[in-house]
Amino acid sequence: MTTLVVCLDRTDDVGRRTGLRSPIVGWEAIRALVTDVGLADPEDSGVNSLLETLRVAQDLRDENESVVAAVVSGDRESMVSADRSVASQIDELVATHDPDSAVVIIDSAEDERLVPIVESRVQVDSVDRVVVRQARDIESTYYLLKQFLADEELRQTVLVPIGLTLLVFPILATVFGPAEGAAAITTVIGVFLLYKGFNVDDLITRGTHQAREALYSGQVSVVTYVVAAGLTLVGVFAGMLGVSSLDDPGGILTPTAQFAFDSVLWLAMAALTASVGRLLDEAISDEPIRTSFLNLPFIVVSVGLVVRGFSAYFLEQQGVIGPLEVPAYELGAVSSESFVVTASERLVVFVVLAVAVSLLGAKAASSISTTRDESESERSASTRSTPPNTEVAGDADAPSGLTDGGPSSDPDSSRTEDSDDADVSHRYGSGPGQPSETDDDTDASE
């Protein structure tokens, strides 16, 4: 009865540290491998797995069993390739040694996923999981703390907040009281955790990099963004003034509607300014303008009209503002008396205008995009129709200076060349070995 004692290494730690290719078969080979792996990384738990493989093989050999000890490693490229590599090595071991059963040695949950692959090739009698006992004394704690303190990122992330908390809490507890101090410290810790959780530092770094690139590249949107920020502040200030002028707010709906009614004009102007600046950058660049940028200003105006209409409707229902009164006017033959627009009619007018503006923007963007596509198609068609090698019209009939040595295609030139050759032959005779025309005449007279 032959038993295969196989140590599984899915991530190929043995190969990375020693440069050896698996499978590694034999007691002496694994014994030498223990030394190589231990010298490469003494803290690796794989050393204990190799030693456990030797121990199990020795115990089975003491029981007069035929034992084959082997180490099988996976591949570092991917998990699928690692599993396939292990499967092919197990097939090779089974074909070479024909074991009746196997004992699998593993040291991690990652290696345990290879057990079904071994079970599909040979009967597995035992799975030996190697668990390394860690020393839990003061010395091991000291080394753990030493490794922790050697990591600069961990020090800044963990020790700095703890140190600030221990430093600030007594001051806050003395000045404001323990409850207020604990509340303040908890708030700061919560803000810090959210800052790290949402990766705000990377967002700030990316935004700063983009702003610097925009400044150096001379984009128009830089100026329009600053103008938009100013208009946004004006809009917020106008909305807050409108809310503060309310005599009886009466809940949260009326102040919100008042803030939106007074600030939406400035906020829409800010968004429109920013979108126009971005559209100008797209127009200046070599790339074609995207349809989304063409439609963005119309969308901004549409949203502003809708918000203005709904906020005016709510305020008129609450009696904060009066109905819209259209004064009398006269334009030539057209005249109209003054009339009052109710809240519902005003809302309908604003919504219809918003829909019309959005449809106009979609139509304009589609028309511009279609025109651009047609011009690009015509340009590409003209490029394909133009021959790659064009000649000047005056030189169209001129013979080319590049020939392949063959006869000319012009029959007149062929006849001219033939007459020239006959003239030359008549004067000087033919080439060697061929009779001349004079000789032919002499023979005929004879």
The CA-atom distances, in angstroms, between 288 and each of 119, 279, 372, 376 are: 61, 11, 8, 11
CA–CA dist 408, 420 (Å, integer): 15
For residues 153 and 271, state if they share a domain: no
The answer to whether 75 and 82 are in contact (CB under 8 A) is yes
CA–CA dist 210, 221 (Å, integer): 12
**Is residue 263 predicted with pLDDT exceeding 70?**
yes
For residues 163 and 260, state if they share a domain: no
Q: What is the mean pLDDT of residues 158-169?
A: 84
Q: What is the mean pLDDT of residues 201-207?
A: 82
Is the residue at 378 inside a domain? Answer: no
For residues 351 and 225, state if they share a domain: yes
The CA-atom distances, in angstroms, between 132 and each of 40, 43, 47, 308, 432 are: 18, 11, 10, 70, 103
The answer to whether 243 and 255 are in contact (CB under 8 A) is yes
Q: State which of 94, 129, 164 marks the end of a domain.
A: 129
Range of lowest pLDDT (90-104, 183-197, 308-322, 388-402): 388-402
For residues 235 and 190, state if they share a domain: no
For residue 116, cis peptide bond before it (omega within 30 degrees of 0): no
Query: pLDDT tens digit string along 124-154?
Result: 888 888 876 654 455 567 666 777 777 777 7
CA–CA dist 299, 209 (Å, integer): 29
For residues 107 and 162, state if they share a domain: no
The pTM for the full model equals: 0.44
For residues 311 and 294, state if they share a domain: yes
Is the residue at 52 inside a domain? Answer: yes
Question: What pLDDT sits at residue 43?
Answer: 73
Question: What pLDDT sits at residue 331?
Answer: 75
For residues 154 and 104, state if they share a domain: no
**Is residue 439 predicted with pLDDT exceeding 90?**
no
How many domains is the chain built from? 3
CA–CA dist 319, 133 (Å, integer): 78
Question: What pLDDT sits at residue 229?
Answer: 93
**Is residue 404 predicted with pLDDT exceeding 60?**
no
Is the residue at 349 inside a domain? Answer: yes
For residues 245 and 301, state if they share a domain: yes
Q: In what order do the strands lie in the sheet with 2-9?
A: 24-25, 66-73, 2-9, 101-106, 124-129
For residues 85 and 187, state if they share a domain: no
For residues 124 and 151, state if they share a domain: no
For residues 163 and 35, state if they share a domain: no
Domain that holds residue 161: 138-198
Query: pLDDT tens digit string along 288-322?
Result: 777 777 788 889 999 999 999 999 998 888 888 88
Is the residue at 11 inside a domain? Answer: yes
